[in-house]
Structure 1
Amino acid sequence: MTDTATIPLADLIATRLTDALSPTTLTVTNDSHHHAGHMGDDGTGETHFSVDIVADAFAGQSRVARQRLVNRALADLLATRIHALAIRARAPGDAD
């Protein structure tokens, strides 16, 4: 069993989203350095992230439903390790 505490959180986020949503495009960005010293900064440098994801699973879904799918895939991390997550979730063919 892999100790998830030793894996960079951005990589863990990418793995979880890939497993759950099979995206065609996925970018996970660690934005924590922009929030150093702010609320939610725990000193790890892994608290604030942005996700840009394109997946067939989002087709026909509202923006809120798309965000819920992402949040569901990352639920335990959002409860324990991620302080803030910006989500841009699109279906293939959606306008940029």
Structure 2
Amino acid sequence: MGTGITADALHARLAELLAPSSLEVIDESAAHAGHAGSDGTGSGTHFRVRIASPRFDGLSRVARHRLVYDALHDFVARGLHALAIETFSPSS
């Protein structure tokens, strides 16, 4: 049984909490089938996020990533295993 986590669910959460000007969430789980952290379904465990938000202005890369992880913390508890994050501020 899969995690039930979808790219749409992550997208909705990030859009709600970080008010991004640009947001892309890609499920890369199928490329990790058979690897550690994979649940065998090929979905819902490995994601890539590209996000630009005014909330990131003046923040370090670590602080930006922390905001993203904080927004998605309950997904980690549900089986989100890997999250590749690219953050941008609209002013950069």
Flag whether TM exceeds 0.5 (same fold).
yes
| % identical equivalent positions | 47
- TM-score (normalizing by structure 2): 0.90
CA deviation after TM superposition for structure 1 residue 9, in Å: 1.3
**Higher relative contact order by CA 8 Å / sep ≥ 6: 1 or 2?**
2
Match of residue 11 from structure 2: 14
- TM-score (normalizing by structure 1): 0.87
- Mapped to 1, the partners of 2:5 and 2:76 lie a distance apart of 15
- Mapped to 2, the partners of 1:8 and 1:76 lie a distance apart of 11
In structure 2, the gaps of 5 or more residues are none
Q: Given that residues 5 and 75 in structure 2 are in contact (C-alpha distance below 8 angstroms), is that contact kept between their aligned partners in structure 1? A: no
- Mapped to 2, the partners of 1:81 and 1:27 lie a distance apart of 20
Coordinate RMSD, CA, aligned:
1.7
Aligned residues: 90
In structure 1, the gaps of 5 or more residues are none
The aligned amino acid for 2:13 is: R
Can you list the C-alpha shifts for 1:37-71, whole angstroms capped at 9, x where unaligned?
11101023210000000000000000000000000
4+ residue runs of structure 1 moved beyond 6 angstroms? none
